[in-house]
Amino acid sequence: MFGSGASGAAQQPNADERFAALKLKYESVLRALEEHQVRLHNLHVENGKLFIRGIAPSDDAKNKVWDQIKRVNPNYDDIIADIQVSETRATAAVGGTPPAQTYKVRPGDTLSKISKQFYGDANEYMRIFYANRDKLKDPDKIQVGQKLTIPTQTV
């Protein structure tokens, strides 16, 4: 029928082997993602191609990652990259990104809402909570006027 044994495996490596091979090929791109502080949301094999999805802190960071992708494979025939620029991060990155920011809680704020504003993802609210454990006992209980430390986004 379809054959068996090593010959079939040699012709079509399994998904883990394909993923490992593509990660090795695009190792310099993965380093560029980290170096330019692109927050990685997805990294997997999809339809035989390396799929990368992330949020860059600036257009410059996004362009540098794309430059590296072009160096590795100008045809893009085995990679799909969806790299967006975070509007709040792009604004903050002008002149350099500080290690952390301070945010004053306003009426109607929740940690999820603040997380969405700074990271583009409401589900990252626990990062803010953990950075403010000295001030917060419960992530659902923040006070208007409270000053929170917003940690920078990392890969």
Domain ranges of the chain: 13-87, 98-151
Counts for the chain of helices (H) and strands (E), in that order: 7, 5
Average confidence score pLDDT of the chain: 83
Please check the confidence at residue 8 and state whether its pLDDT lies above 60: no
- The band of 90, judged by pLDDT with boundaries at 50, 70 and 90, is very low
- Indicate if 98-151 has the same CATH topology as 13-87: no
Strand order across the beta sheet in which 49-56 lies: 39-46, 49-56, 79-85
State if pTM tops 0.75. no
Structure tokens at 146: 């409270």
Write down the CATH number for the domain with range 98-151: 3.10.350.10
Nearest by Cα to 73 from 4, 21, 114? 21
13-87: CATH topology is Alpha-Beta Plaits (3.30.70)
